[in-house]
């Protein structure tokens, strides 16, 4: 059976709500994040970019904390980055009233350890600025050597001008200076803007795992309409790429490589990444280069049970370039159980994104693009309806005095 036939069946099932039993991969990853477990509960009560009651104020509070939301809607960051520099934090987006919380015209930079972010949307967009003007926001990034034990789960990251979701750091200073033990799971990572405000010009990118970032897990995500980096593991990196669906990439799907010129004059020499690539699915779309392979072009990789298809449903290449195929997994997180690749599509359709059972208009459209094999790479959010316009909604939250983590888990399950 061709992927087109499989996808039509899945689409019909999904649209009639009969896909409720689809499995999701157990996305433990390498991170051992406790987040803000046991800490104070901080309530976000408004949609202001800063000030009392804002998300920014909650992130800047010291000490272990669990951030809950008594407000839903859109936060305009006004071209400013939300920086997370205080450790032991849980951002519980599942507590927000429908339609949940969306951040626009800005990004989130996680620069500390033991951070859990769930059920949040980040959509920087071009902010109405001129093409090539130099405004280059990520969607969300774990950055620097203090960014470890970080989990970004069930989030939606789109319309970034740099990467939608990444791990990075001072890339020539060794692994101690870069993000490590990071999990990106069950997210929609889509529509990185192509010819937008980036000074380099074309720059539609999904996820960059920068040089020396190690123990990075990329599990169960939908990558859609990103020209490259779906994801991209560079020199000295280690990690796993498991059960992701990659739809309509442009010129690269899973990239394993590094840029030799970036290492000229460095104290250390580059070496291949070492990754385990299991149970992923590539489907070409309108933006995809003919005969694009799932994996390329230079790295050490263990590959198992992956699928790749052209737009007409015929098989596409799995590997291109000088990928050194390993006989055994170089790294693998304890407790991670991969789904068969044949089940990854159904799982992603049901489980990916910030609020899978209550998707906003953008996430619904992106998922329908994949199901219907439509859509393309874009240059601006204005090509697909522009920034969201939704009314603010508020509600009081009765947070239990005990077993808060279990309560958050039940709320999350209601929308996953």
What is the per-residue pLDDT across 157-180, written as a single tens digit (0 to 9) for each?
Answer: 999 999 999 999 998 998 999 999
Contacting residues for 208 by C-beta, under 8 A, at least 6 apart: 163, 166, 167, 168, 229, 231, 232, 234
What per-residue confidence (pLDDT) applies to 393?
96
What per-residue confidence (pLDDT) applies to 130?
96
Judged by DSSP in three states, 350 sits in helix
- From CA 124, how far away is CA 107, in angstroms rounded? 6
- From CA 134, how far away is CA 228, in angstroms rounded? 20
Return the beta strands (E) in 232-381 as ranges. 232-233, 238-242, 245-247, 254-256, 274-278, 281-283, 295-304, 307-309, 322-325
Contacts 24+ apart (CB under 8 A), 258-261: 258/211, 258/234, 258/298, 259/234
What per-residue confidence (pLDDT) applies to 213?
98
Which residue's structure tokens are 């939606």?
A: 156
Q: Are 204 and 192 in contact (CB under 8 A)?
A: yes
Q: What is the pLDDT of residues 208-241, one digit of tens each?
A: 999 999 999 999 999 999 999 999 999 999 999 9
Give the pair of three-digit tokens for residue 50.
Answer: 């800063």
What per-residue confidence (pLDDT) applies to 236?
97
Contacting residues for 90 by C-beta, under 8 A, at least 6 apart: 35, 36, 37, 65, 66, 67, 115, 116, 118, 408
In Å, how far are 43, 198, 236, 370 from 188, measured between CA atoms? 26, 22, 26, 11
- From CA 350, how far away is CA 369, in angstroms rounded? 14
Give the pair of three-digit tokens for residue 211.
Answer: 């040089």
What per-residue confidence (pLDDT) applies to 171?
87
Peptide bond into 358 cis (omega under 30): no
Judged by DSSP in three states, 371 sits in helix
Question: Of 137, 133, 110, which Cα lies nearest the Cα of 124?
Answer: 137
Terminal CA-CA length for the chain:
29
Instruction: List the domain boundaries for the chain.
Output: 3-415
Q: Which residues of the chain have pLDDT under 50?
A: 1-21
Percent helix / strand / coil, the chain, rounded to 5: 15, 30, 50
Peptide bond into 283 cis (omega under 30): no
In Å, how far are 157, 230, 349 from 139, measured between CA atoms? 6, 14, 22
Facing residues of 117 across strands? 91, 152
- From CA 217, how far away is CA 182, in angstroms rounded? 6
Q: How far does CA 125 lie from the centroid of its chain?
A: 16
What per-residue confidence (pLDDT) applies to 350?
96
Q: Are 123 and 103 in contact (CB under 8 A)?
A: yes
Facing residues of 109 across strands? 83, 141
Question: Of 182, 247, 253, which Cα lies nearest the Cα of 218?
Answer: 182
What per-residue confidence (pLDDT) applies to 252?
98
What per-residue confidence (pLDDT) applies to 28?
74
What per-residue confidence (pLDDT) applies to 164?
98
264-267-272 Cα angle (round to 5): 70
Facing residues of 106 across strands? 80
Residue 314: is it exposed, middle or buried by C-beta count within 10 angstroms (0-12/13-18/19+)?
Answer: exposed
What per-residue confidence (pLDDT) applies to 23?
66
Judged by DSSP in three states, 147 sits in coil
What per-residue confidence (pLDDT) applies to 26?
56
Q: How far does CA 170 lie from the centroid of its chain?
A: 21
Question: At the fourth CATH level, which superfamily is domain 3-415?
Answer: Single-stranded right-handed beta-helix, Pectin lyase-like (2.160.20.10)
């Amino acid at each position: 059976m061709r992927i087109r036939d499989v996808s039509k069946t899945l689409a019909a099932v999904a649209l009639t709500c009969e896909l409720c039993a689809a499995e999701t991969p157990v996305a433990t990853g390498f991170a051992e994040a406790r987040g803000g477990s046991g800490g104070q509960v901080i309530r976000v009560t408004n949609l202001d970019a800063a000030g009392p009651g804002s998300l920014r104020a909650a992130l800047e509070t010291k000490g272990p904390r669990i951030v809950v939301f008594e407000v839903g809607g859109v936060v305009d960051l006004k071209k400013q980055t939300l920086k997370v520099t205080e450790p032991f934090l849980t951002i519980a987006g599942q507590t927000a009233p429908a339609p949940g919380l969306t951040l626009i015209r800005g990004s989130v930079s996680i620069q500390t350890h033991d951070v859990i972010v769930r059920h949040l949307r980040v959509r920087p967009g071009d902010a109405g600025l001129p093409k090539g003007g130099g405004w280059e926001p990520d969607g969300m990034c774990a950055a620097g050597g203090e960014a470890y034990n970080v989990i970004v789960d069930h989030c939606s990251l789109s319309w970034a001008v740099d990467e939608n979701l990444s791990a990075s750091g001072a890339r020539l200073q060794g692994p101690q200076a870069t993000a490590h033990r990071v999990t990106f799971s069950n997210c929609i990572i889509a529509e990185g803007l192509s010819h937008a405000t980036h000074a380099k010009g074309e720059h539609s990118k999904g996820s960059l795992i920068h040089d020396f970032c190690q123990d990075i897990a990329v599990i169960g995500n939908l990558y859609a309409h990103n020209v490259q980096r779906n994801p991209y593991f560079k020199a000295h990196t280690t990690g796993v790429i498991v059960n992701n669906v990659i739809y309509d990439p442009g010129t690269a799907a899973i990239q394993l490589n590094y840029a030799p010129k970036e290492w000229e004059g460095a104290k250390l020499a580059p070496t291949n990444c070492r990754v385990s690539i299991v149970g992923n699915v590539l489907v070409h779309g309108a933006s995809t280069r003919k005969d694009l392979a799932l994996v390329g072009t230079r790295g050490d990789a263990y590959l198992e049970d992956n699928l790749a298809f052209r737009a007409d449903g015929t098989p596409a290449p799995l590997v291109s370039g000088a990928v050194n195929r390993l006989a055994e997994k170089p790294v693998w997180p304890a407790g991670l159980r991969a789904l068969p690749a044949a089940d990854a599509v159904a799982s992603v359709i049901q489980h990916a994104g910030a609020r899978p059972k209550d998707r906003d208009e953008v996430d619904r459209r992106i998922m329908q693009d994949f199901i219907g094999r439509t859509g393309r790479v874009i240059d601006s959010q204005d090509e697909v309806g522009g920034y969201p316009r939704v009314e603010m909604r508020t509600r009081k939250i009765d947070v239990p005095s005990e077993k808060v983590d279990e309560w958050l888990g039940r709320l999350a399950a209601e929308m996953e």
